[in-house]
Structure 1
Amino acid sequence: MVGKSGGQMIIWDTNCFVAEDVIKFDSVLGIRVRDPSERFNYEFIVCRARRFNKFIIECGLIDVPIRGRLFTRISDDGTKFSKLDRFLVFEKFHQFWGNLAAVTLDRTSSDHVPIVLKDERKDFGPKPFKVFDVWLDEDGVDQVIVDAWEKPTDSGIDKEIEILKDKSLKLELKAETVVLNEAELESWKESRSKWLENEKIKAKMLKQKAQLKWNIEGDENTSFFHSMIRNKYNRCNICGLNIKGIWCEEPRDIKAEVFNHFKKIFDEPNNMRPSLENLVYPSITNDEAHDLERAFSESKIHEAILDCGSSKAPGPDGFNLRFYKKFWELLKEELVDAINWFWCNEEISRGCNASFVTLVPKKSGPVCLNDYRPISLIESYYKIIAKLLSIRLRKVLPSLM
């Protein structure tokens, strides 16, 4: 592509792509940025950005996130920066190449930074187990959980959909040339019905993966959910980090950098605590103090669980609060014992206190760990205890204000 300021060269691997057609325009859409964060020391023109964003949306394009640098064009005097270079791809392209990332290379004589489009999934190790809400709606799941709730079964729904769909379509094609007998017609109805039912189940799973909340239930546009999942993956995927001024893509080095970074943040240099002696502050009554110190009853624990959100992101155990709500009768005895053990011993067991720290990008195109916001995903057991304590404290806080 050639513009007024010179030219841009696009290079691709001919083993993967073939240029079947070349389209030339008399007029070319000018190079634009999408929001103010893509300019530094440059004028940002809102109307141009709005037109550019409208063009991307109306054409159904996906803006592939860029990693390694915040800007791709630098002025000759080194004072002005812009993000002018990007890859815009169609949804169908994204379906075949789902792990896309645009990575910057070193800039030499050009005022633009070269960018490379990559499709690769980094192996950061095994993915943790996670319960999907749709599993809890399956027929017979209650018995499965009762028999072995620590090891939920894998439905293998994609394979089942493929088999049922193939069987249904083959019979439909056959019906176009010959009349199906009664057995074949019944087989077609059954396979098609099961196929569509499994598509609905899969849509619910995709909905939870995309972590979307809809005002209207039953939106089953699976292609849209797939798009949301891929966009979320591309936005949140850490394909590399700037470590001590060097762009690194090796998972082992990235994990070590993340560990060391947060170890420094969460480490406590000393055990000194501020003293509360000789301070005058409001106090609670003896009855309120007695109420705070009572052990939690089974009914109060159940009420606290029901008051928690059902489908929040789970911690390392993989079980969300909806699982506890559905199988309360099965789990209540052990759960009540565990919470009362915490109350008597005034501590949470080390394993039950584990959590995931997930990194959410603060902005588009994160480069270093400071560009991510850490969020702690705690286990449901911890959430239940926190809910119980907050309910009790809520009763006495007004008297301390």
Structure 2
Amino acid sequence: MCQKLKELKCSFKALNRQRFSHISDRAQQAVAALKQVQLDLHDNPRNLELRSKVDKLTKESRFLSEAERQFYVQITKSTYLMNCDKGTELFHAIAKRNAKRRFIATVHKADGSLTTSQSQVEDEFMGYFKGLLGRDSLFDDIDPMVLDSCPKVSVQQAQNLIKMVSRQEIKVALDGIGEDKAPGLDGYTSCFFKKARHIIGNDFCEAVEEFFRLSSLLKQVNHSAIALIPKSSHVSTVQDYRLISCCNVTYK
């Protein structure tokens, strides 16, 4: 499935160039064409061909206008865009502000001093979060008497814990992932898998079932992008950031 998804990206890129390149110009052209046909229909209201053109151009202009809006929303990632002109100073100010937000120039070290380079910033974050995630260490063996004194699951419950997942359970898990969630490194959101369920559903389920059968994940699936999200508008230490992992939908 991973190989198929990788090959599919070439087709998506070609489709994007064909249908959505120069989206602003195409949206304006569609609106202008619709207005012209509406004027022609106003002069000749009984013309069935013009009526058909109006319906067609109305759908096309709405589709392109919505595609244009989504394009700019993705760039700015701001709700302010819903109420502003995409060519105003506000739009460019928001885009510049978001670019600055993604850059961490300096942080305070554990001793209170400031970092002086990007490598030191990286070292501070790596050291702090590695400490949170834990480290390798030796543990004492578990005392069997302690286990015997604890409540135990029944044989049926134990069998349910290790049985193969059903395709209905996979479907429920997929439907529970929000369509507006950030995609993983493969670029595919849960919306893609839901909309294309009739095409890719069998491959998707087989990939999930293979993990439970072999207890192994491909490297293409078992990796994620980690984003650092500031907890407030004034951040100065690594503790002021929280981690968010953008995992592939198959991994989820």
Q: Structure 1, residues 341-384: CA drift from partner, whole Å, max 9, x if none?
A: 2213324333322111111112224344333222222221121x
Q: 1:241 aligns with which of 106, 118, 122?
A: 106
Closer, same or farther: CA 226–305 of 1 in aligned 2, 3 Å: farther
Q: 1:199 aligns with which of 65, 90, 93?
A: 65
| 1:162 counterpart = 2:28 | no
Q: Which residue of the partner structure matches residue 196 of structure 2?
A: 327
Give 5+ residue unaligned stretches, structure 2.
Answer: 37-42
What is the TM-score when the length of structure 1 is the normalising length?
A: 0.44
Closer, same or farther: CA 304–201 of 1 in aligned 2, 3 Å: same
Q: Which residue of the partner structure matches residue 276 of structure 1?
A: 142
Structure 1 moving runs of 4+ over 6 Å: 170-173, 188-193
Q: Which residue of the partner structure matches residue 337 of structure 1?
A: 206
Q: Which residue of the partner structure matches residue 353 of structure 1?
A: 222
| 1:150 counterpart = 2:13 | no
Q: Which has the larger radius of gyration?
A: 1
Q: Structure 1, residues 257-290: CA drift from partner, whole Å, max 9, x if none?
A: 4543343232654232464323232111101111
Q: Structure 1, residues 181-230: CA drift from partner, whole Å, max 9, x if none?
A: 99xx99x9677864443122232455566376xxxxxx954648958964
What is the TM-score when the length of structure 2 is the normalising length?
A: 0.65
User: Which amino acid is the alignment partner of residue 175 of structure 2?
Assistant: L
Paired residues in the alignment total 221
Q: Which residue of the partner structure matches residue 309 of structure 1?
A: 178
1: CA distance, partners of 2:122 / 2:61? 45
User: Which amino acid is the alignment partner of residue 261 of structure 1?
Assistant: E
Q: Equivalent residue of 2:22, what SS?
A: helix
Q: Structure 1, residues 137-195: CA drift from partner, whole Å, max 9, x if none?
A: xxxxxxxx99x63332325736133145258659989xxxxxx999xx99x96778644
2: CA distance, partners of 1:164 / 1:309? 29
1: CA distance, partners of 2:35 / 2:220? 54
| 1:266 counterpart = 2:130 | yes
Closer, same or farther: CA 193–226 of 1 in aligned 2, 3 Å: farther
Q: Equivalent residue of 1:301, what SS?
A: helix
Computed over aligned residues only, the root mean square deviation of the Cα atoms, in angstroms, reads: 4.4
Percent of residue pairs identical: 18
Q: Structure 1, residues 298-354: CA drift from partner, whole Å, max 9, x if none?
A: 232122212332221122122121211112232233222322222133243333221
Q: Structure 1, residues 29-62: CA drift from partner, whole Å, max 9, x if none?
A: xxxxxxxxxxxxxxxxxxxxxxxxxxxxxxxxxx
User: Which amino acid is the alignment partner of residue 193 of structure 2?
Assistant: Y
CA contact (8 A) 2:125 2:238 kept: no
Q: Equivalent residue of 2:250, what SS?
A: helix
